Amino acid sequence: TAANLRKLADNPAVLVASGVVGTPHAEAAIPVARQTGLPLVGLRSGAQFLRTGQEGVYHLRSTFEAELDKVVAHCVGAGMKEMAILFSNDSFGKSSRDHLVKRLAESGITVISNVSVERGGDNIKSAVASTSQVVKGSHAPLGIALLLIAKPMLEAAREIRLNHQIIAPLFAMSFVATRDVATKPDPSLAGLGLVTA
């Protein structure tokens, strides 16, 4: 991402860059944009740590934190006492997890499992198995947060529902509302809450 943006910035015909999707890509692009003076318009990352008021950096979506605050509010309203978290092992997942853990603690909801998943989902089966073992041992009302990109989120939901037979509510962030999720019936997505701010 940084190398591509530098090439664009070196071209005098390019006035602005757009279409940077995802936290790791935005994290790589912003320093180059700041160094070269090339404006970044429409970043599609909700990471709060990327929003430091940099001149020439314009975000398209709300923050991940705003979405996660809505998840916590829903969980409090539903009387949930515990939350299991599967998060992407990258800057997006870790910052989202950290915020969610903090907000859940402030709201009196206990995090009973906190497991990382490789960004591409390579370890999804073992991560879900570890989480499922803890979830099945709980007797409190709980939810499962899937702080993952779209493909691993779908794989995790299928593992949770079909292979581990867990019916607890699942929560994911708005950017996983892809065409596949919206248009293809999938019984493993029953009870999936897609939250947006």
Instruction: Produce one character per residue of 29-43: b if its CB has 16 or more CB atoms within 10 Å, e if not.
Output: bbebbeeeebebbeb
Give per-residue pLDDT as tens, 74-85: 999 999 999 999
pTM (2 decimals)? 0.77
Q: What is the pLDDT of residue 14?
A: 92
Cα–Cα distance measured from residue 4 to residue 161, given in angstroms and rounded to the nearest whole number:
40
- Maximum Cα–Cα distance across the chain: 62
Sequence-distant (≥ 6) Cβ neighbours of residue 128 within 8 angstroms: 86, 156, 159, 160, 163, 164
pLDDT of 21 higher than 80: yes
Q: What is the pLDDT of residue 197?
A: 65
**Torsion angle, CA of 167/173/175/180, rounded to 10 degrees?**
10
**Cα 67–Cα 72–Cα 76 angle in degrees, nearest 5:** 150
